[in-house]
Amino acid sequence: MLAPKKVKWRKQQKGKMRGISKGATSVVFGEYGLQALSCGFVTSRQIEAARIAISRHVKRGGKLYIRIFPDKPISKKPAETRMGKGKGNPEEWVAVVRPGRVMYELEGVTEDLARQAFHLAEHKLAVQTRFLGREDLI
């Protein structure tokens, strides 16, 4: 699973997920992309599950680019714990995804195969997505 090797601070605040993505809004590395249409946290498990779904469908053909990285720690308190006593321990890592962000890119495969692979991958992710070609815009 993806996670940072080293971080400066162990815990982070939640933050806001307003607005559209600041960068990575177009297909740059591959020919086809999977673009987010809504805000959300995508966990490292979801990123890995979508990667496996895409790579299994294209049967090791083409090249896959992952353009999101889970660099935000999410902390959780144990079940049935009273309020107070500080913030919980970091449990998982997530990537903050805003609308317009291209999360995955594929090259070296046909458009139909890429469309099917991304359709399988979008079921694994926690955000709404759409298929994107290199020439399409936001």
> Residue 99 belongs to a domain with what CATH number?
3.90.1170.10
Asked, for residue 111, whether it belongs to a domain, the answer is yes
- Residue by residue, pLDDT tens for the chain (138 residues) are 899 999 999 999 999 999 999 998 999 999 999 999 999 999 999 999 999 999 999 998 899 999 999 999 999 999 999 999 999 999 999 999 999 999 999 999 999 999 999 999 999 999 999 999 987 554
Asked, for residue 117, whether it belongs to a domain, the answer is yes
> What pLDDT was estimated at residue 136?
59
> What pLDDT was estimated at residue 134?
81
Burial label, 117 (beta-carbon count in 10 A; 0-12, 13-18, 19+): buried
Asked, for residue 14, whether it belongs to a domain, the answer is no
Q: Cα(120)–Cα(117) distance, rounded to whole angstroms?
A: 5
> What pLDDT was estimated at residue 61?
86
Which of 37, 61, 64, 56 lies closest to 122 in space, CA to CA?
37
Residue 67 belongs to what domain range?
32-75+89-133
Asked, for residue 128, whether it belongs to a domain, the answer is yes
> What pLDDT was estimated at residue 105?
96
> What pLDDT was estimated at residue 15?
93
Asked, for residue 124, whether it belongs to a domain, the answer is yes
As for how many domains the chain has, the answer is 1
> What pLDDT was estimated at residue 60?
82
Asked, for residue 15, whether it belongs to a domain, the answer is no
Q: Cα(120)–Cα(54) distance, rounded to whole angstroms?
A: 7
